[in-house]
């Protein structure tokens, strides 16, 4: 995620073709989403090992991060537009100006730069945490248990094939899919709304 954020920040310094930037943005967004999902699962799993008292700060921090991200976006936009006076310049001159869109580039540069710095600090904090004795005492038991092996790890997520064998291969996968269908539909619905709204915003901006 740190490398992806740095690449986004560096992309604001260069000019490329629309197709190249579109492909780069899609690849970066997909990779960031996969990395964020993996990281989120790992964070909750590690916090759960330490108990409920450690889960509460994780949940609170996740909620606070949304406020922080929005604040950074607003602050970046204000910083990029500081000192500009669009009312004193005719609209035709703004469109003809070769520096049109410079404020957006500065805003994105500041935002992705701050994101990269935050991820770098997070990486340093995790490196320090992983070296603490109390962290090793908790995670060491889990790693030893994983090396030894547990029969439950080799069974299905929904049914135990040793006690209740299923005649249909991979039936437990469909059961998990059915139980999570409402959550997957909700996520797909949110993404579809974002894509449609982004399309109409782009058309309005183009007109």
Q: What residue segments make up the domains of the chain, in order of their start?
A: 2-149, 155-207
Please say whether the dihedral angle defined by the alpha carbons of residues 16, 20, 26 and 30, taken in this order, is positive or negative: negative
User: 126 near 9, Cβ under 8 Å?
Assistant: no
Q: Considering the chain, what is the average pLDDT of its residues?
A: 75
Dump pLDDT digits (tens) for 81-122.
Answer: 775 555 544 554 444 444 546 777 788 888 888 889 999 998
pLDDT given for residue 124 in this prediction: 94
Count of Cβ atoms closer than 10 Å to residue 4 Cβ: 19
- Six-digit token pair at 77? 């936009």
Dump pLDDT digits (tens) for 153-191.
Answer: 555 555 444 455 555 555 677 787 788 888 888 888 887
């Amino acid at each position: 995620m740190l490398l992806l954020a740095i690449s986004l920040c560096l992309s604001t310094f260069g000019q490329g073709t629309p197709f190249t930037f579109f492909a780069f943005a899609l690849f970066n967004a997909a990779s960031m989403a996969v990395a964020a999902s993996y990281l989120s699962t790992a964070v909750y799993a590690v916090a759960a090992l330490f108990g409920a008292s450690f889960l509460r700060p994780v949940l609170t921090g996740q909620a606070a991060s949304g406020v922080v991200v929005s604040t950074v976006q607003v602050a970046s936009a204000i910083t990029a537009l500081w000192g500009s006076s669009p009312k004193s310049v005719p609209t035709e001159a703004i469109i003809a100006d070769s520096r049109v869109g410079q404020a957006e580039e500065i805003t994105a540069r500041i935002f992705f730069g701050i994101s990269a710095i935050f991820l770098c600090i997070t990486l340093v904090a995790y490196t320090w945490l992983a070296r603490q004795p109390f962290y090793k005492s908790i995670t060491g038991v889990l790693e030893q248990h994983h090396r030894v092996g547990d029969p439950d790890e080799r069974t299905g997520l929904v049914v135990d094939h040793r006690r209740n064998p299923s005649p249909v291969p991979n039936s437990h996968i469909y059961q998990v899919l059915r139980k999570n269908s409402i959550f997957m539909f909700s996520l797909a619905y949110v993404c579809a709304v974002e894509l449609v709204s982004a399309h109409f915003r782009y058309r309005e901006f183009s007109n």
